[in-house]
Amino acid sequence: MTTDPERTAFGAPNIDLVSRSQTQAVTLFGVTLGGGVWQVTRDGRFYGHYMTGQPAFDAAEAAARAVVASGGAADVLWHDRRPGIDPSDRAKGPTVALVGAMRTMEFRAGSTRIVP
């Protein structure tokens, strides 16, 4: 957020609430398992089928890194099916388990190492 001290307080707001990085569209890659086949989507559209999970994640990660290398931003989303205890339910005892959670891995310029 920035303010311009030379700008009058009257009229349009004196605050820039949205920075350039926030307005950039993020490419969304999804990794899902359905019917025994792993599927990768890019912005909701088919990107590839894989017989096992690791190649699907590898493909989504490589595609996300390619988006970042070309100046964009990308997220890889997947449903983590591993059971775990929800921290808010610890007081209820060990019988309450979180069945799975949505996970996101973010790829952004400057925070993602690009290996040629």
State the SS3 of 12-79: CCCEECCCHHHHCCEEEEEEEEECCEEEEEECCEEEEEECCHHHHHHHHHHHHHHHHHCCCEEEEEEE
Closest listed residue to residue 26, CA positions, set 78, 71, 80, 82: 71
Separation between Cα atoms, residue 47 and residue 72, nearest integer Å: 18
Residue 114 belongs to a domain = no
- pTM of this prediction exceeds 0.75: no
State pLDDT tens for residues 78-94. 877 765 555 555 555 55
Residue 96 belongs to a domain = yes
Residue 1 belongs to a domain = no
More confident residue, 104 or 21: 104
Residue 34 belongs to a domain = yes
Residue 57 belongs to a domain = yes
Residue 91 belongs to a domain = yes
Residue 18 belongs to a domain = no
Residue 103 is inside which H or E element, if any?
strand 101-107
Range of the domain at 102: 26-107
Residue 52 belongs to a domain = yes
Structural domain count, the chain: 1
State pLDDT tens for residues 35-78. 999 999 999 999 999 999 999 999 999 999 999 999 999 999 98
Contact by Cβ (8 Å): 50, 63: no
Separation between Cα atoms, residue 42 and residue 53, nearest integer Å: 16
